């Protein structure tokens, strides 16, 4: 019987020491979470000027709150050198992210008294998922959707991609509530005020901009309805630069306001460059969680109302319909 070679080297079993585990979990992990938060906030501030920052600008700041809270709790377990600084940094990041969420993403209530001559504008991108089941579901609940729209008491209602609503048994009664109605290019406009025009002014590569002119308080108001491509791989910087160049060639006068599905979050740098001088209605008069997509768990405010220099937003809110992929936005406007 052969004896084992006692001179052969033994295989070492490498096991991480407890001190290494503590360093990884209680120091390196909190530092990493803070760095990730810093990069994401930088992306939100810089905006969608490049593909990399475009992806970062779509990350809601509120998703950082749980991770930063975990980082702060873990940092209290670290008793090594510089642990106090680490806790202060984690706590500072958590505080700033909370302030950002409460004041910028959520906003406090801004109460402004409405006047009788204010214009109540309601806009809904009523797009539904493709497929027969989705279409049947939309038809079954279309009456409920019309009830939601009725409760919003709009002076001007603009619906994108909602032709299926006309199949509702309540559509005729709903439409008759308004004195004027028109439609063009998958856009329906119902208004208490005279509609002067509903006409596409730009249709290109999945982008639609439609001119809507109504008479309000004896003056012509120009609204541009917008429905832009949704592909996340599409450079928003290139898209808005191209749209701006094409709009400049049409020689159409600038609108009083823009509304619709811009497919960029509020604060998009590319959107601001394309339409300087326009302000977001939520930033001016909104409160509460205003994300519009996806409807069931809204994370992004892709649908927006932008008001021009001669217009003020008095109130802005978002309502969840029973069907569709987007929430409904309502803005009370004052000239």
Most distant pair of Cα atoms in the chain: their distance: 111
The H-or-E segment that residue 210 falls in is strand 207-216
Do 166 and 305 lie in a common domain?
yes
Do 210 and 320 lie in a common domain?
yes
Do 98 and 125 lie in a common domain?
no
Distance separating alpha carbons of residues 199 and 209, to the nearest angstrom: 9
Interior/surface letters 86-112, b for 16+ CB within 10 angstroms, e for the rest: bbebbbebbeebbebbeeebebeeeee
Q: Quick check: is 61 in a domain?
A: yes
202, 247 in Cβ contact below 8 A? yes
In 3D, which of 39, 57, 36, 43 has the Cα closest to residue 301? 57
Write down the pLDDT at residue 107: 75
Do 148 and 295 lie in a common domain?
yes
Other residues' Cβ atoms within 10 Å of the Cβ of residue 76? 14
261, 225 in Cβ contact below 8 A? no
Do 42 and 163 lie in a common domain?
no
Tokens, residue 334 = 């004052």
Residue reference for tokens 């700041």: 61
Do 194 and 232 lie in a common domain?
yes
Q: Quick check: is 94 in a domain?
A: yes
The conformation of residue 300, written as its DSSP 8-state character, comes to: B
Write down the pLDDT at residue 63: 85
Q: Quick check: is 213 in a domain?
A: yes
Distance separating alpha carbons of residues 297 and 85, to the nearest angstrom: 37
In 3D, which of 235, 217, 237, 327 has the Cα closest to residue 282? 327
Q: Which of 41, 76, 106 is the last residue of a domain?
A: 106
In 3D, which of 297, 270, 202, 226 has the Cα closest to residue 57? 270
Torsion of CA 109, 115, 119, 123, to 10 degrees: 30
Do 261 and 240 lie in a common domain?
yes
Other residues' Cβ atoms within 10 Å of the Cβ of residue 297? 7
CATH code of the domain containing 134? 3.60.10.10
Tokens, residue 131 = 């497929």
Q: Which of 106, 139, 169 is the last residue of a domain?
A: 106
Q: Quick check: is 73 in a domain?
A: yes
In 3D, which of 298, 237, 225 has the Cα closest to residue 264? 237
Write down the pLDDT at residue 81: 78
Other residues' Cβ atoms within 10 Å of the Cβ of residue 84? 11
Write down the pLDDT at residue 84: 86
> For residue 69, what are the domain limits?
18-106
Do 68 and 188 lie in a common domain?
no
Residues with Cβ < 8 Å from 72, sequence gap 6 or more? 30, 87, 90, 91, 94
Write down the pLDDT at residue 241: 96
Do 161 and 294 lie in a common domain?
yes
Q: Quick check: is 226 in a domain?
A: yes
Q: State the number of CA atoms in the 13 A half-sphere of 320 facing the CB.
A: 11
In 3D, which of 70, 60, 58, 59 has the Cα closest to residue 94? 70
Q: Which of 84, 106, 128 is the last residue of a domain?
A: 106
270, 47 in Cβ contact below 8 A? yes
Number of domains making up the chain: 2
Do 136 and 77 lie in a common domain?
no
Q: Quick check: is 330 in a domain?
A: yes
Do 51 and 135 lie in a common domain?
no
Write down the pLDDT at residue 10: 57
Do 130 and 270 lie in a common domain?
yes
Write down the pLDDT at residue 82: 74
Q: Quick check: is 5 in a domain?
A: no
Q: Quick check: is 111 in a domain?
A: no
In the predicted model, residues of the chain with pLDDT beneath 50 are: none
């Amino acid at each position: 019987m052969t004896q084992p070679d006692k001179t052969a080297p033994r295989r070492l079993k490498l096991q991480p020491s407890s001190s290494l585990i503590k360093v990884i979990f209680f120091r390196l992990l909190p530092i990493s979470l803070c760095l990730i938060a810093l990069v994401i906030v930088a992306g939100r501030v810089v905006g969608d000027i490049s593909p990399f920052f475009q992806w970062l600008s779509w990350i809601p700041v509120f998703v950082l709150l749980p991770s930063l809270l975990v980082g702060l709790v873990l940092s209290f377990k670290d008793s090594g050198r510089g642990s106090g600084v680490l806790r202060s940094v984690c706590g500072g990041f958590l505080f700033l992210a909370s302030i950002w969420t409460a004041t910028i993403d959520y906003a406090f209530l801004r109460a402004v008294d409405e006047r009788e001559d204010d214009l109540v504008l309601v806009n809904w991108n009523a797009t539904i998922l493709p497929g027969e089941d989705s279409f049947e579901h939309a038809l079954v609940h279309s009456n409920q959707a019309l009830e939601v729209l009725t409760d919003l008491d709009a002076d001007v209602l603009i619906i994108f991609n909602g032709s299926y609503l006309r199949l509702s048994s309540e559509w005729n009664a709903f439409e008759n509530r308004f004195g004027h109605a028109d439609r063009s290019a998958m856009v329906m406009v119902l208004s208490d005020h005279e509609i002067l025009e509903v006409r596409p002014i730009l249709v290109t590569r999945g982008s639609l901009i439609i001119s809507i002119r109504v008479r309000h308080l004896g003056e012509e108001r120009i609204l541009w309805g917008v429905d832009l491509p949704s592909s996340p791989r599409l450079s928003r910087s290139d898209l808005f630069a191209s749209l701006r160049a094409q709009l400049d060639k049409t020689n159409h006068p600038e609108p009083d306001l823009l509304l619709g599905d811009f497919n960029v979050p509020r604060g998009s740098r590319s959107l601001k460059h394309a339409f300087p001088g326009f302000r977001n209605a939520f930033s001016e008069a909104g409160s509460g969680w205003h994300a519009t997509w996806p409807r069931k768990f809204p994370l992004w405010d892709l649908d927006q109302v932008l008001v021009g220099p001669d217009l003020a937003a008095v109130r802005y809110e978002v309502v969840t319909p029973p069907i569709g992929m987007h929430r409904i936005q309502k803005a009370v406007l004052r000239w």
